[in-house]
């Protein structure tokens, strides 16, 4: 058993997505949806130079995920899968990861687009998106093979409430 780790959110997402039901399940389905990140004032200096990047990686806390399951049935499948083989929010540590488009930065407010985060989502970290860090070799997709196109349009229901 490991010791606990304590993080403090650095800001909050203001998004037009207010409910889990009907939310895009990934940024691909949130194409064109705009939102903002309101960074806490004390971290504003850390945004310097970020505006040169077209995309950012957001790490955030799934604030509505109050428990976890080791097996979940993903939106794009009809069989239970190990939670670590899915992106479902009911994870032991409910940390979400999305790559979004950075439209602009005004002071401590980031304007972002192609968003799948709920309003009120707590932001843990912001990193520049660097395509060179992705694998260049062939990628296998396991149970998701042939189903990933569904990310473009499938919407969430309430199964992970």
Nearest approach, Cβ of residue 30 and a copy of itself (Å) = 11
CB of 19 to a copy of itself, least distance (A): 22
In the DSSP assignment, the letter for residue 73 is -
Q: Which residue, 10 or 20, is less far from a copy of itself as judged by CB? A: 10
Where does this chain touch a copy of itself (CB under 8 A) — which range of 16-24, 48-56, 153-161? 48-56
- Coil/strand/helix, residue 88: coil
Site for a copy of itself in 64-93 (CB under 8 A): 70-71, 81-87, 91-93
> How is residue 46 written in tokens?
């850390």
> Could you say whether residue 24 binds a copy of itself (CB under 8 A)?
no
User: Are 110 and 37 contacting, i.e. CB atoms less than 8 angstroms apart?
Assistant: yes
Residue 100 to residue 35: CA distance in whole angstroms: 10
Could you give the CA distance from residue 132 to residue 39 in angstroms, rounded to a whole number?
27
Cβ distance to a copy of itself smaller for residue 22 or 82:
82
Residue 135 binds a copy of itself, judged by CB under 8 A: yes
- Contact between 117 and a copy of itself by CB under 8 A: the answer reads no
CB 72 within 8 A of CB 156: no
């Amino acid at each position: 058993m490991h010791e606990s780790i304590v993080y403090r959110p650095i800001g909050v997402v203001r998004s037009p997505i207010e409910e889990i039901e009907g939310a895009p399940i990934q940024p691909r389905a949130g194409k064109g949806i705009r939102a903002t990140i309101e960074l806490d004032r004390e971290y504003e200096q850390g945004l310097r130079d970020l505006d040169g990047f077209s995309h950012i990686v957001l790490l955030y806390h799934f604030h509505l995920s109050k428990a976890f399951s080791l097996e979940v049935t993903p939106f794009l499948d009809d069989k239970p899968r190990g939670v670590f083989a899915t992106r479902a929010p009911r994870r032991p540590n409910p940390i979400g990861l999305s790559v979004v488009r950075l439209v602009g930065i005004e002071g401590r407010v980031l304007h972002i687009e192609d968003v799948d985060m709920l309003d009120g989502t707590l932001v843990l970290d912001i990193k520049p998106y660097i395509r060179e860090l992705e694998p260049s070799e062939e990628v296998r997709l396991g149970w998701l093979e042939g189903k990933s196109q569904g990310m473009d349009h499938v919407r969430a229901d309430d199964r992970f409430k």
